[in-house]
Structure 1
Amino acid sequence: MEITGRLVADAAVRNIEGDRTVTNFTIAVNRRYVSGGEKREDTTFIDCAYWRSDAVAPYLTKGLLVQLFGHISARPWVSRDGEPMASLNFHTNEITLLGASRKAGAAKPKAKRNGNKQAA
């Protein structure tokens, strides 16, 4: 599956089980449409996990447009108030950096691996 969206914050790397790392980030996917003659926009927030390498993390900055390949799952959970909730999780296999971050001063070079893609 393929999704395209903008990062809502800089990526974070976490250590798992001592020697494994995961790069976590969240993207916003916008859908624009017209309903009843009125322009509307829906935004869906998707939590993403990239296990293949943490080397891409410095390039994943707030506002960056990315194209992701992988698979999606839903995770149900219960809030502190006892309300049932759910989140979308994207298990990322490949990342393509599509556009510059909107973040001020974000003049970092694009990651280069397999033609600007991060893959195994």
Structure 2
Amino acid sequence: MEISGRITKDAVTAKVSNDREVVNFSIAINDSYRPKGSTELKKIVTYIDCSYWMGSKMAQWLKKGTVVELFGRVGLNVYNNAEGKALGSLTFHTSNIKILVFPKTENASAVPAVQKKNAPKDEPDDLPF
């Protein structure tokens, strides 16, 4: 399954056991629709809790405002609250993350710069565009 959205707050890494860590974050998905017979456009936002188990170093890139494309599966968590009432929540178990857009920041150094390795800085590259 594939979903994409904007991260709502910086990702948090939680230690589950001695050798396992999980990266938890949430995304917002914006959508809109026009009700039948109406000219008014209705906007809705869906918030989805996500978890990433493949490596905790990914958390450093998952900052508030980042637009991501996620691949994975939906999981259901069912539990009883203090009053004994059965409740549930959905979590998107992410297996692959593609960062589409980094958030705008005042401090340009907050967004990592991508540099080609072994390329001289003063010489132009040989790309035709």
Report the TM-score range of the alignment, normalised by the length of the smaller protein. 0.7 to 0.9
> Over alpha carbons, which structure has the higher Rg?
2
> 1:97 deviation in Å?
0.3
Residue in structure 1 matched with residue 26 of structure 2 by the alignment: 26
SS at match of 1:57: helix
* Matched residues, number: 111
Residue in structure 2 matched with residue 9 of structure 1 by the alignment: 9
Separation (CA, whole Å) in 2 of partners of 1:70 and 1:97 = 15
Residue in structure 2 matched with residue 52 of structure 1 by the alignment: 54
1:57-68 paired onto structure 2 within 5 Å: 57-68=59-70
Cα 1:84–1:63 change in 2 (3 A) is farther
SS at match of 1:56: helix
Letter in 2 for 1:22: V
Task: Tell me the percent identity.
Answer: 38
Listed one character per residue, the Cα deviations across residues 40-67 of structure 1 (whole Å, up to 9, x for unaligned) are 1111111101000011101100011000
1:29-44 paired onto structure 2 within 5 Å: 29-35=29-35, 36-44=38-46
> 1:73 deviation in Å?
2.3
Gap regions ≥5 residues in structure 2: 115-129
Gap regions ≥5 residues in structure 1: 112-120
Q: What TM-score do you get using the length of structure 1 for normalisation?
A: 0.79
Listed one character per residue, the Cα deviations across residues 36-94 of structure 1 (whole Å, up to 9, x for unaligned) are 11111111111101000011101100011000000012334456677765422000000
Q: Do the aligned residues in 2 keep the contact of 1:47 with 1:89 (CA within 8 Å)?
A: yes
SS at match of 1:32: strand
Cα 1:32–1:102 change in 2 (3 A) is farther
Cα 1:110–1:83 change in 2 (3 A) is farther
> 1:2 deviation in Å?
0.1
Letter in 1 for 2:71: F
Let me know the Cα RMSD of the aligned residues. 2.3
Structure with greater helix percent: 2
Structure with greater strand percent: 1
Q: What TM-score do you get using the length of structure 2 for normalisation?
A: 0.74
Select between 84-93 and 30-39 the one with higher mean Cα deviation: 84-93
